[in-house]
Amino acid sequence: MFHQKGFSLLSFLLYLVLFSLMMLLSCHIVTSLIIPSFSSIRRSQSLISLHIATDLFVRDIRIMRNSEHQWKVIRPQEVIWNQGNSDIGWLFVDNRLERREGTYDEEWKNSTMSTIARNISKATFIYETRGGRVVGIELVMMPPWQKEKPVTCYVAVSKQENA
């Protein structure tokens, strides 16, 4: 009998098919499990950034509440107040929430701008007034993937007075 060392064509094709199926299975696992988890991670990071934005907004309003202030602009997309020597403003523009600090006189001059949150489909400031005074502000932000549950925060602007 004559024996050769090596592989036959049939065994080579069998190994080729086996390893191709293993590659297809690996690609299927990546596309069906790992890629959706990346999307979920991006959504949760975006949601965390929205909650951080609400914390920063509440912090600014609480600092303002404890000092003398004067309102300059009160609109659904923008709020600006004077904090003694500078103006502070929050603005929703181009699907992002911005905080500006500087001098505001019908437009910003000598200001610094910080982007607080990105990828927001809608953000609105809702004002509660009593007797012509703003007593509370609610910030409502809508993530682009979520249409029913907005991220909201409410902060009282004026100190409680004993009635």
Counting every residue written for the chain, the total comes to: 163
Half-sphere exposure of 28 (CA within 13 A, CB side): 6
Distance CA 59, CA 62 (A): 5
Cβ atoms of residues 45 and 69 within 8 Å:
no
Side chain identity at 142, as an amino acid letter?
Answer: M
Segments making up each domain of the chain, as ranges: 49-156
Instruction: Render pLDDT for 81-110 as a digit per residue (tens, 0 to 9).
Output: 888 888 899 999 999 999 999 988 888 888
pLDDT at position 162 over 70: no
Cβ atoms of residues 86 and 102 within 8 Å:
yes
Say what the pLDDT of residue 1 is: 58
**Neighbouring C-beta atoms of residue 72, cutoff 10 Å:** 16
CA dihedral 65, 71, 73, 79 (to 10 degrees): 0
Instruction: Render pLDDT for 44-79 as a digit per residue (tens, 0 to 9).
Output: 888 888 899 999 999 988 888 777 778 888 889 999
Instruction: Render pLDDT for 72-86 as a digit per residue (tens, 0 to 9).
Output: 888 899 999 888 888
User: Distances in Å between the alpha carbon of 128 and those of 27, 38, 84, 151, 155?
Assistant: 54, 40, 23, 18, 10
Say what the pLDDT of residue 39 is: 85
pLDDT at position 161 over 70: no
Instruction: Render pLDDT for 120-159 as a digit per residue (tens, 0 to 9).
Output: 888 999 998 888 888 889 999 988 877 778 889 998 887 6
Say what the pLDDT of residue 145 is: 78
Say what the pLDDT of residue 163 is: 38
* pTM for this prediction: 0.75
Using the 8-state DSSP alphabet, how is residue 52 labeled? H
